[in-house]
Amino acid sequence: MRNEFTAIIEKDDDWYIAYCPEIPGANGQGKTKEEARIDLGEAIALILEDRRRDGLRGVPSDALQETITIS
């Protein structure tokens, strides 16, 4: 289950629109389902990277910082 998210993909005329209910604001689109899925994956990665950077802002320099992996 590590790094797995739900992709909802819908057809809208000539385009496929994708979104992830677990990550508000994560959307993608493409002329094919695969393009929409890839675009959504890139959006999710950007949002998580931004949230991580924002969340670490202001952390004291002497605080312990470790990585936790959820599997």
pLDDT tops 90 at residue 1: no
Task: Return the H-helix or E-strand segment holding 59.
Answer: none
* 71 confidence band (pLDDT: 50, 70, 90): confident
Number of neighbours of residue 48 by Cβ within 10 angstroms? 14
Q: Which residue has the tokens 């000539």?
A: 14
Distance CA 44, CA 6 (A): 11
pLDDT at 70: 78
pLDDT at 2: 66
Its pTM stands at 0.84
Segment 9-63, tens digit of pLDDT: 999 999 999 999 999 999 999 999 999 999 999 999 999 999 999 999 999 999 9
